[in-house]
Chains A and B, each alone.
Chain A
Amino acid sequence: MLDLEVSSGFGCDLISDSLCFSRPECLLITGLTNIQIIRVADMIEARAIMFVRGKKPGQEIIRLAEEKKLPLLVTNRFLFESCGLLYQHGLRSS
């Protein structure tokens, strides 16, 4: 799974906007850790989710992500900084 490539990044703390504005094969960057973010990531065909601000998903969320083959990443950095760093390293917006 570490070889997965993402086409773009989308940073957001709203479910509706994640659904409407992100592009398929993106990395979804969010502070939301409830189960609906996995459902949305699956629907928009995101490649992976990165949780920011040190948020850690619960067991139920991890289980569903495993089922959907969605890698989950965590960072202590804030949303803005996470997006900035990824942008600096070449990732572009959805």
Chain B
Amino acid sequence: MDFTRGGEATAKIKKALQLVGMEVDTIRRAVIVAYEAELNIVIHAKHGSLVTHIHPNRVEIEAVDEGPGIPDISLALQEGYSTAPPHIREMGFGAGMGLPNIQRCSDELHIDSEVDSGTTLKAIIINKSRGE
């Protein structure tokens, strides 16, 4: 997949969230979730899609890919666990923080995965107004 263009989808999502006036913290968390999910697809999968639904009270991010799948999801959610190849690590990835960051920034997270088939990730970020 095109590593150079990885992150473009997240940049578009960020713009859309700013345009509709979501809270700054919601945007920050949604951007982290979207970027980590997007780069996971770019690094690991054959192809995939990143879809965002924006509601007044929440942002839903859905990342669906066809790829190797995740054999052990709870292991993949542990900080420091990574299956990224060495050339990806050299570029500052593969520290095993992708899924843990997604989990930390989401209010709800569902991951379904089938080995040798693909992964579906759905994250919900609640748009909390300041002071709430």
Contact = CB atoms under 8 A, between A and B. Distances in A.
Q: Do A and B come from one complex?
A: yes
Interface of A: 13-20, 30, 32, 34-37, 39-40, 42-43, 60
B91 A43 contact: no
Contacts, number: 56
Contact of A20 (B3, B4, B32): B32
Contacts of B97: 14, 16-17, 20
Tell me whether chain B's interface is mostly helix, strand or loop, or mixed: helix
A42 B4 CA distance: 14
B10 A43 contact: yes
B91 A34 contact: yes
Contacts of A42: 11
B48 to A, nearest CB: 17
A26 B60 CA distance: 28
B81 to A, nearest CB: 13
B98 A16 contact: yes
